[in-house]
Amino acid sequence: MAPSAPPTTSSATAYDELIVLVKQASLLESTSYLLGWDQETMMPPRGVEHRSRQQAQLASIHHRLATDPRVGDLLAACESDQQFMADPAAVAAVNVREVRRRYDRYTKLPTELVEELAQVSTLAHHQWAEARKASDFDRFRPWLEKIVELNRRKAECFGWGKDGEPWDALAEDYEPGCTAADVEAVFRPLRTRLQDLITAVTTSSTRPPNAFNEIPLPIDRQEAFVRDVSRCIGFDYSRGRLDRSTHPFCSGTHCHDVRLTTRFQEAFVNDALGSTMHEAGHGIYEQGLLEEHIGTPMGSAVSLGIHESQSRMWENQVGRSRGFWRWCFPKLGEYFGDSVTSVGFDDVYGAVNIIKPDFIRVEADELTYNMHIMVRFEIERAMISGDLAVPDMPAVWNLKYKDYLGLDVPDDRRGCLQDIHWSSGSIGYFPTYTLGNLYAAQFFETALDAMPDLYEQFERGEFANLKQWLNEKIHAHGERYGASELCRHVTGKPLTADPLLRHLEQKLKPLYDL
Ligand SMILES: [Zn+2]
Number of Cα atoms under 13 Å in the Cβ half of residue 355: 27
pLDDT digits (tens, 9 = 90+) for 425-445: 999 999 999 999 999 999 999
Share of the chain above pLDDT 90, in %: 89
Cα 307 to ligand 1 centre (Å): 7
| Per-residue pLDDT, 27 | 96
| Per-residue pLDDT, 458 | 98
| Per-residue pLDDT, 247 | 83
The yes-or-no verdict on residue 499 having pLDDT over 90 is: yes
Q: What is the mean pLDDT of the chain?
A: 95
Cα 249 to ligand 1 centre (Å): 7
Share of the chain above pLDDT 70, in %: 98
User: Is residue 265 a contact partner of residue 214, using CB atoms and an 8 Å limit?
Assistant: no
| Per-residue pLDDT, 2 | 46
pLDDT digits (tens, 9 = 90+) for 174-226: 999 899 998 998 898 899 999 999 999 999 999 999 999 999 999 999 999 99
Task: Give the Cα separation of 185 and 17 in Å (integer).
Answer: 42
The yes-or-no verdict on residue 323 having pLDDT over 50 is: yes
User: Is residue 305 a contact partner of residue 483, using CB atoms and an 8 Å limit?
Assistant: yes
pLDDT digits (tens, 9 = 90+) for 216-266: 999 999 999 999 999 999 999 999 999 999 889 999 899 999 999 999 999
The yes-or-no verdict on residue 1 having pLDDT over 50 is: no
Cα 3 to ligand 1 centre (Å): 59
Cα 11 to ligand 1 centre (Å): 39
Reported pTM: 0.92
| Per-residue pLDDT, 9 | 58
Q: Average of pLDDT values for 21-32?
A: 96
Sequence-ordered alpha helix ranges (H) in 159-255: 166-171, 180-203, 219-233
Reported as a pLDDT band with limits 50, 70 and 90, residue 7 is very low
User: Is residue 474 a contact partner of residue 447, using CB atoms and an 8 Å limit?
Assistant: no
Cα 308 to ligand 1 centre (Å): 5
Cα 374 to ligand 1 centre (Å): 16
Number of Cα atoms under 13 Å in the Cβ half of residue 294: 19
| Per-residue pLDDT, 84 | 86
Cα 275 to ligand 1 centre (Å): 9
pLDDT digits (tens, 9 = 90+) for 63-96: 899 999 999 999 999 999 988 889 999 999 999 9
Rounded to 5°, angle at Cα 251 from 477 and 149: 100
Q: Average of pLDDT values for 36-48?
A: 94
| Per-residue pLDDT, 421 | 93
Q: Which SS3 state, helix, strand or coil, does residue 468 take?
A: helix
Task: Give the Cα separation of 170 and 429 in Å (integer).
Answer: 8
| Per-residue pLDDT, 455 | 98
Residues forming the active site: 279
Cα 144 to ligand 1 centre (Å): 23
pLDDT digits (tens, 9 = 90+) for 475-491: 999 999 999 999 999 99
